[in-house]
Each structure stands twice: as structure tokens, then as C-alpha cells.
Amino acid sequence: MPKAIVLCATPRGWRHSVLTVEGGMVCGGLSDVPPDAGPEEARAAAAAMLVGLARGFHGVGVDVTWDPPKKPGSGPGGSLPEWPHGMAVNP
């Protein structure tokens, strides 16, 4: 069951890491999102993916909410770019 997700824009496209409630992690790309798409499009695609996976594999509906974006340089080490992260999945 998905618990949280991190999205990262790369030159080759948007990547995701999904954390599960069981402690696992599933990583991959958002293949239906163009590499030059903005964060809102990537968030919408990632949310749709997680809603579909939760329903298809676990038979439950989930709500997807996103933390507000952080400013560039505000993360650990002071060098993180601005990108969507910290999504919570609420069954």
C-alpha cells in the first residue's frame, strides 16, 4: 500500500519513488508525462497512478495530498531544487 511519494524532474523525464506502509520502495518514471512538463502535470499523473494502484492492487480508495513546494536550497545540505515531494496517501 503506498504511503508517500517523491517526484524529481530529470532531463530524461519525471522520476518517482513510492514508499509503502510495509517499508518498501518502488521507483520508476512517469512515462505518460513529457520531460518538459511542469510540477502540476507531474503531480496529477503521479496522483492518478497511486489512486489506480491502490484500487487495483489493494481494493481501496485513497486521497492524495501534496506538501507545499520548498524553496531551492532549503533542504538538507542547502542544495535541493524545488520539486514536488512529501505526498501523503490517506486511505
Q: Which residue has the higher pLDDT, 90 or 70?
A: 70
What pLDDT sits at residue 66? Answer: 81
Question: For residue range 55-83, what is the model confidence (pLDDT) as tens digits?
Answer: 898 888 888 888 776 655 444 444 444 44
Contacts of 47 (CB under 8 A, 6+ apart): 64, 87
Rg (CA), the chain: 13
Element (H, E) at 58: helix 39-58
Question: For residue range 8-59, what is the model confidence (pLDDT) as tens digits?
Answer: 888 899 999 888 888 999 999 998 999 999 888 998 999 899 889 888 988 8
